[in-house]
Amino acid sequence: MHSSKLKLRTWVQALCLVVTSSKGISSVVMARVLGVTQSTAWRLGHSIRETMHNRDGKGPQLKGVVEIDIKYLGGAPRRVFGKNVSSL
DSSP state of 64: S
Assigned domain for 3 exists: no
Residue 2 placed within a domain: no
**Would you mind telling me the total number of residues written for the chain in this entry?**
88
Residue 63, domain member (yes or no): yes
Domain that holds residue 20: 8-87
Span 33-87, pLDDT tens digits: 999 999 999 999 888 888 777 666 666 666 677 666 666 666 666 666 666 555 5
The sign one gets for the Cα dihedral 43, 32, 70, 67 is negative
Q: Round the CA-based radius of gyration of the chain to a whole number and report it.
A: 16
Question: Is the distance from CB of 33 to CB of 45 less than 8 angstroms?
Answer: no
β-sheet bridge partners, residue 21: none
**pTM, to two decimals:** 0.57
For the chain, what is the domain count? 1
Does residue 38 lie within any of the structural domains?
yes
